[in-house]
Amino acid sequence: MEIALQTDRPQTLVTELGNWNRLENQFRELFSEQALKDREFMKMKLGEYERLAYKYAGAPKTADERAMQVILNFQRTKMRRAIYPGILSRLVYRSLVLLRHALRPAPKVPAGSNDPAGYIHTAISVPEGQQTPPTEKQEQVRSWPRFGQDLGGRKPDRHQNKGQSL
């Protein structure tokens, strides 16, 4: 029953982080708290956080998701420094992560709650032969004359570097 309810909801950053926290609590119950502080578990957690950060990087976000994204980025930086203490190892790790995500196709992110109908991710396609040139009226709108005198452009400021005027 619970699985059916989870699949009906669209996946968001908040729900996926909640899923990860539930999984982490299960690990805590099965193993000890010390197992969660192990370097290999931290690498797995960092990998999941990297995946979520890249998945939801350009998605339309609610205020809660923006706050979660900021906290997620802070946690990723903190975990990277703990796992890879040397600056060179962190640089190599970051370049590998960027390369991995550049080569992987971008995941389809569901529309946020600000876009209930999914219009943001809807592509508009116009067939090649049906693109019409602008009409005469549209051309006139673009070339309307200015109202009033043409006062010219802004003149350069002659009083540069002379301090404030009183």
pLDDT at 102: 81
Domain residue extents for the chain:
13-103
At residue 1, the pLDDT reads: 42
Q: Is the pTM of this model over 0.75?
A: no
Mean pLDDT by 10 residues, the chain (166 residues): 55 86 91 88 92 83 84 92 91 89 68 49 59 64 59 62 63
Residue 114 zone, left/alpha/beta (φ > 0; ψ -120 to 50; rest): alpha
Alpha-carbon gap, residue 95 to 52, rounded angstroms: 17
Q: What is the model's pLDDT at position 66?
A: 85
pLDDT of residue 48: 92
Q: CB count, 10 Å around CB of 75?
A: 14
